[in-house]
Copies of this chain bind each other. A is one copy, B any other.
């Protein structure tokens, strides 16, 4: 990545005839809230590891590209700067046909002509089309520089209507009224409860997913918890002692920090829907994200409450502090054997990427169960107990299970299938997008791959011809530890486009270190809840003549 960076810098320097370009620029955090006032730094990274490095390089490229674009467009003038537009008007300008408008503060810009020049790629700028730039500049803060602002000024067409700045009134009887404000880049699958995923281009832009665009899977309204009065109740073992732990108490346990990928069981459900209707949210490829989590180990907390591994099978049940109008809380469980195994590294996490957990991700404490389906990573954790049986929660017993394609809602017997714990090997293509047109010559294909149970991804095969022939992709991201490969690998393949090819059927499939592979097609793994969708991912693109 650094080599690539240097090469690009060199070429850009030559093109721009600039004498010097800073090769590293520090990321400054920006606000991600709705009204775009600075709130609290949500993207401050102080480390110098490969993930933050990646961000910097990306940011630098964006900055340089902006400079380059500025050279080409210095003669534009902002004659129409006195016009006033409503937010609604801006939001209707999202295509080359209507014009592509964005806002920054109170200013409105028509960037239609700039989109194709955007160094991060047109698709990334298009994510902001019809709305504010701030949330995206928060992700790639290098934009916040004078030369980028000067460039943008050339495209100014007017001002936002000041009345539009008033926050919308909220319906106070709405249980979701107090949900936090989200990043506009998220693709929303459901507003209430809030479920959303990052767009694929952003998903694999970073090995560590920035908190604001980490996929969000809520089952209920987001509780608003006071960290000072928060207590985690841990039911003691017979003869042991129940615990009521404050946040400070949790911080007093030895601190562990691990990188873990979370994936929703319903990731890629939309592909199952194409086979036959299922019940569930229409997740595309983005119900998966990776963060650096810090917290106390569950095994240490359980030990303090007097629990130990027993011969008979037992389960650790978690209850969230989110609840429905009847007071029923979200709940789930994992086997005690996993919870008590120090090697399984199950955390009671209070930090996500160096910050307190965002509200959408379980503030102040959530469970992180490496290698296990997202549904067991209970957020807003209120209660932990050890039981002889799995959690009686709906989400443990009547959801998040896999069935044969022959099973429908009339014949399903939820007791006949085990609850999903470890997930099977998974991979998906994030670039190019389905239906996109790619340049002839060479195509760059990017994506992610991950497997459950700590199994490392050892290979990703990519095909340009629908699976007839294969090439091995290059794996990026951190090396994985044996048996503890909790985090994904990002991957890419640069491949020549076969001459004369007008279309490509791009396919990817991953292999984990148990040599598990993904199935070829979706229909034979179809199931009525649309979970466990891990067939080969397929993207059809056109080649520009």
Name the B residues within 8 Å of A518 (CB-CB). 519
A356 on the B face (CB < 8 A): no
**B337 touching A424, Cβ below 8 Å:** no
State A511–B402 Cα separation when bound (angstroms): 9
Give the contacting residue for A515; candidates B406, B423, B513; CB below 8 A.
B423
CB distance from A466 to the nearest CB of B (A): 11
- A404-B459, A424-B517 are known contacts. Are A524 and B509 too (CB-CB below 8 A)? yes
Please tell me if the beta carbons of B470 and A524 are within 8 angstroms of each other in the complex. Answer: yes
Cα A217 to Cα B2 with chains together (Å)? 49
Q: Mark A463-502, 1 if CB is under 8 A from B, else 0.
A: 0000101111000000000110000000000000000000
A418-B513 contact given A404-B472, A472-B404, A472-B406, CB 8 Å threshold:
yes
* Residue A521 CB within 8 A of the other chain: yes
Are B417 and A471 in contact, with the CB atoms below 8 A? Answer: no
**Contact in complex: B524, A520 (CB < 8 Å):** yes
How near does chain B come to A5, taking the closest CB pair, in angstroms?
Answer: 26
- Indicate if A188 sits at the interface (CB-CB under 8 A): no
A127 at the interface (CB under 8 A from B): no
* Contacting residues, chain B, for A532 (C-beta < 8 A): 515
Least distance between A402 CB and chain B CB atoms (Å): 5
A450: shortest Cβ distance to chain B, in Å? 13
How many Å lie between the Cα of A335 and that of B482 in the bound state?
Answer: 9
Verify B417–A459 contact, CB threshold 8 A.
yes
A205 an interface residue at 8 Å Cβ cutoff?
A: no
| A420 to B515 alpha-carbon distance, docked (Å) | 7
Check if A280 is an interface residue, CB within 8 A of chain B. no
The interface centre, meaning the residue of A337, A404, A421, A425 with most chain B CB atoms within 10 A of its CB, is A404
Residues of B near A515 (CB, < 8 A) are: 402, 420, 422-424, 532
Q: Taking the complex as formed, is A436 at the interface, i.e. its CB lies under 8 A from any CB of chain B? A: no
Is there an interface contact between B516 and A469, defined as CB atoms closer than 8 Å? no
Given contacts A458-B418, A520-B520, contact A514 B453 (CB under 8 A): yes
What is the CA–CA distance of A483 and B340 in the complex, to the nearest angstrom?
Answer: 14
A404 touches B470 (CB 8 A): yes
Contacts of A402 in B (CB 8 A): 511, 515
A452 to B514: give the CA distance in the assembly, Å. 8
A105 partner residues in chain B, CB cutoff 8 A? none
Q: Is residue A313 contacting chain B, with contact meaning CB distance below 8 A?
A: yes
Report A510-537 CB contacts with B as 1/0, cut-off 8 Å.
0101111111110011000000100000
* Nearest B-chain residue to A456, judged by Cβ: B418
One digit per residue, 1 when the CB lies within 8 angstroms of any chain B CB and 0 when it does not, for chain A 341-364 equals: 001000000000000000000000
Q: Could you tell me the distance in whole angstroms from the C-beta of A378 to the nearest C-beta in chain B?
A: 20
A388 is an interface residue with CB less than 8 A from chain B: no
Q: A313 to B405, Cβ gap below 8 A?
A: no
Contact between B513 and A516, CB atoms less than 8 A apart: no
Complex CA gap A407/B420 in Å reads 35
A526 CA to B248 CA, complexed, in Å: 55
- For residue A34, CB closer than 8 A to chain B, the reply is no
Assembly CA distance A516 to B458 (angstroms)? 16
With CB as the reference atom, state the residue of chain B lying closest to A341.
Answer: B343
Q: In the complex the two chains form, is A525's CB within 8 Å of B517's CB?
A: yes
User: Which residue in chain B gives the minimum CB-CB distance to A309?
Assistant: B343
* A404 and B473 alpha carbons, distance in the complex (Å): 11
Residues in chain B near residue A313, CB distance under 8 A: 482
Knowing A513-B418, A514-B453, the reply to whether A461 touches B404 (Cβ < 8 A) is: yes
Q: Chain B residues with Cβ under 8 A from A421's Cβ? A: 513-514
User: Complex formed: what's the CA distance from A343 to B513 in Å?
Assistant: 20
- With contacts A423-B514, A514-B453 known, is A471 near B335, CB below 8 A? no
Check if B519 sits within 8 Å of A406, measured CB to CB: no
Instruction: Assess the A337–B521 pair: CB atoms within 8 A.
Output: no
Shortest distance in angstroms between A281's beta carbon and chain B's nearest beta carbon? 19
Contact: A521 with B520, CB < 8 Å?
yes
CB of A514 within 8 A of CB of B459, answer: no
Question: Residue A514 contacts which of B405, B417, B422, B525 (CB distance < 8 angstroms)?
Answer: B422
Contacting residue for A405 out of B461, B483, B521, CB 8 A: B461
A469 — which chain B residues lie within 8 A by C-beta?
405-406
Bound complex: CA of A458 vs CA of B519, how far in Å?
17
Q: Could you name 29 residue pairs across A and B whose Cβ atoms are closer than 8 Å?
A: A335-B482, A335-B483, A337-B482, A337-B483, A402-B511, A404-B471, A405-B461, A406-B470, A406-B471, A406-B472, A407-B472, A418-B458, A418-B513, A420-B515, A422-B514, A423-B514, A423-B515, A424-B514, A424-B516, A425-B516, A461-B524, A467-B524, A470-B524, A509-B524, A514-B516, A516-B516, A517-B525, A519-B519, A519-B520
10 A-B pairs with least C-beta separation: A520-B520, A422-B514, A424-B516, A516-B516, A406-B470, A424-B515, A515-B532, A404-B472, A404-B461, A517-B519
Q: Beyond A425-B516, A453-B453: 7 further Cβ-contacts under 8 Å?
A: A335-B482, A405-B470, A406-B461, A417-B458, A417-B459, A422-B515, A515-B532
